[in-house]
Amino acid sequence: MLKAIKRALVTYYTCRDPKEQRKQRRRPQLHFGLSATEASAEDGTISVTFTFRSGMRYCCPSPACHFFHLFFQTDWGYFRRLLAEQGVEMRSPLKFLIRVVYERGALFLEDPGNGDSTYFPWEKTSWNEFVTDESNPSDSQRVVRSSDSDGDA
Ligand SMILES: [Zn+2]
């Protein structure tokens, strides 16, 4: 089930338009790591990990900037259809537990708005966790746990 969920997530991220999705032949490429680590069909919860990878360049460390549609305005209906195409049925309301990992050495712009800005490397691997809940969409993008509070990076 986790592989099927991952396929649905990758499609969700790389191809928002189902028609485009059908046209797309090659496997979509993501510049961040993405994995579904746990899922429970009964309680509708999916645990997802996004990774800002070491050596890769990103505009900024804000998860909402990169994974916008899981942090704001999640298109639950579309995501559910993608799940169904993979043969996965999840209970309503769906809930994502999202872990965002920053690998040491991931590169971010010092000043994202500025064209001359240089990249700086992330110093120490760390992570934050967020919850996005279909029944309470406005409550998203709140950090519920982090490696700082857990001390386990
Ligand atoms: Zn950004």
Q: How far is the CA of 137 from the centre of ligand 1 (A)?
A: 22
Domain limits, the chain: 2-150
Residue 98 alpha carbon to ligand 1 centre in Å: 18
Tell me which residue of 49, 52, 71, 50 sits closest to 61, measured CA to CA.
Answer: 52
Q: Model confidence over 64-76: pLDDT tens digits?
A: 887 777 767 788 8
Q: What percent of the chain has pLDDT over 70?
A: 82
Backbone φ and ψ of 113, nearest 5°: -80, -15
C-alpha triplet 108, 13, 59: angle, nearest 5° = 15
Q: So what's the pLDDT on residue 20?
A: 54
Q: Tokens 């070491």: give the residue.
A: 54
Cα of 72 from ligand 1 centre, angstroms: 15
Ligand 1 centroid, distance to 125 Cα (angstroms) = 19
102 CA to middle of ligand 1, Å?
Answer: 14
In angstroms, rounded to a whole number, what is the distance separating the alpha carbons of residues 97 and 99? 7
Complete edge-to-edge strand list for the sheet that includes strand 57-58? 57-58, 107-109, 119-121
Query: 77-91, pLDDT tens digit by residue?
Result: 899 999 999 999 988
Token pair of 38 as six digits: 């746990």
CA–centroid distance, residue 53 to ligand 1 (Å) = 15
153 pLDDT higher than 60: no
pLDDT, mean of residues 36-41: 92
The pTM of the full predicted model, rounded to 2 decimals, is: 0.83
Cis? peptide before 28, omega within 30° of 0: no
What is the C-alpha R_g of the chain?
Answer: 16
- State the distance from the centre of ligand 1 to the C-alpha of 84, rounded, in angstroms: 31
